[in-house]
A = this chain, B = another copy of it.
Amino acid sequence: MIKRILLLACIAPTFLFAQTSDSAFIKMISDNIMVSRASYNNLHTLTKNIGGRLAGSPQMVMAENWGYKALQDAGADKVTLQECMVPHWVRGGKDKASVTYKTAAGKTETMQLNVLALGNSDGSGPKGVKAPLMRVANFDELEKRKDEVKGKIVFYNVPFEETFIQTFQAYGKNVIYRGIGASRAAKYGAVAVLVRSMTHAMDNNPHTGAMRYLDSIPHIPAAAVGLRDVEKLDTLFDNNVALTAQLFTYGKMLPDTIGHNVIGELKGTEFPDEIITVGGHLDSWDVAEGAHDDGAGVVQTIEVLRAFKALGFQPKHTIRFVLFANEENATNGGKKYAAEAKAKNEKHIFALESDAGGFTPRGFGFEVKPETWQKLESWKKLFSPYGGDTFTPGGDGADIGYLKEAFGTPMAGLEPDTQRYFDVHHAVTDVFEAVSIRELKLGAVNMAALLYLVDKYGL
């Protein structure tokens, strides 16, 4: 208490006035967003009428058309489609897997596994692949046992670290097994890989996501397994039961195709050539509705625009509201956006991304110069009423990160609470019903507040 009073006493009257008026404006933003049904309706349409929308899919074309209209309806001065080439991976069929083993009584048992081929992977085709299943706890074990790998299906069973409070830490540590596990095993002659799903969830839904083949190593099939099935496999392995696995996947990488970033713009009144970017990605994995990943970011981006227009807010700088084309399996939308900005010699002063789910906001991660932190600290109390006042270093997003590379643009990422994200991430459970609309809206409130402050005071 004492500290608070001292702090207050140090503040000059002008500053107090500015803060009051900022907090009043942010309250107006909040009131407008919290009572509006626009974000509910937008997310419902995107998830339920369009659904899963991987780059290159017909649903993604529908999503672009919807996004164009939604940005217009929200009041953009203009909306443009920015063409970019995107990968065109198709799942190609219903992924299936099973393991066969002999019981102690000598009976042959077959257990079906709930699997999803990893994105970008080549399928086994209708003949499938059948081989002994070999479990490894990590790459170290793979290396130690590399002589056993030839002709096997390798099963990477690397549990999420439950003790990490921020779940992105667990994901960050483990995602390499999804990313390059196939090539690491294929190098020693594995014929396929199964990967424990990247999740904390207590259900059996497999979680897909991007993988990539490393050069000159054979492309083998790769699929994620649901956690309940992983537990069953573990029990068998722990009892030294020999398992033969069979895997059917049909994934295929077709030639690159055309996608679009969908860009709405509010023209700046004083510095129209200085650009602030805010965005999320429009694409999602095919099997999910992409409600949290990243329907939330898309809808929040549109919601910020809608609220600004509804309140008659005219930014000093041009604000671009960008629905990126292709975060999930190549980030080609983000690359294109930055490349074109660079080619046109644009001036990008700030970028903000929302791609961590529509959960209750806790704050922002910032990628800024050290001297900027003092300013950020002074803004914190403006965010406290809306829950977004935890500011942490490090905050480039997958799509806006290319702007930092191109220009060194200061940037931020909305950081919602992370506990539930990997329950649904890239799984069939990432649906509209998994989103609390109030939590989603609160994220938009905090984003709008940050954009308002950066536009007014710079960063």
Point out the residues of chain B lying under 8 angstroms from A162, CB to CB: 34-35
Contact of A163 with B by CB under 8 A: yes
Query: CB-CB < 8 A to A386: which residues of B?
Result: 165
CA distance A438 to B162 in the complex (A): 9
A440's closest neighbor in chain B, by CB?
Answer: B419
Q: Report the stretch among A11-19, A266-274, A370-378 that lies at the interface.
A: A370-378
* Chain B residues within 8 Å of A362, by CB: 387
Task: Assess whether A243 is interfacial by the CB under 8 Å rule.
Answer: no
Oligomer copy total = 2
**Cα distance A373–B2 when bound, in Å?**
9
Are A165 and B385 within 8 A (Cβ)? Answer: yes
Closest-by-CB residue of B relative to A166 is B385
**Contact across chains for A437 and B202 when beta carbons are under 8 A apart:** yes
Task: State whether the Cβ of A45 lies closer than 8 Å to any Cβ in chain B.
Answer: no
Q: Tell me whether A200 is interfacial, beta carbon within 8 Å.
A: yes
Complex contact A370–B163 (CB within 8 A): no
Write the nearest CB–CB distance from A367 to chain B, whole angstroms.
Answer: 15
Chain B residues within 8 Å of A35, by CB: 162-163
Could you tell me which residues of chain A, from 150 to 206, have a CB within 8 Å of some CB in chain B?
162-163, 165, 167, 200, 202
Q: Is A417 an interface residue (CB 8 A)?
A: yes
> Provided the pairs A163-B35, A377-B3 are in contact, do residues A417 and B360 lie with their beta carbons within 8 angstroms?
yes
| Cβ distance A448 to chain B, nearest Cβ, rounded Å | 14
**6 A-B pairs with least C-beta separation:** A419-B438, A31-B163, A35-B162, A1-B373, A419-B439, A360-B417
Residues of A that sit less than 8 Å from B by CB: 1-3, 30-31, 34-35, 40, 162-163, 165, 167, 200, 202, 360, 362, 370, 373-374, 377, 385-387, 417, 419-420, 423, 436-439, 442
Supplied contacts A417-B417, A417-B439, 13 more A-B pairs, CB within 8 Å:
A1-B377, A3-B377, A34-B163, A34-B165, A165-B385, A165-B387, A200-B438, A202-B437, A360-B419, A387-B417, A419-B439, A419-B442, A420-B439
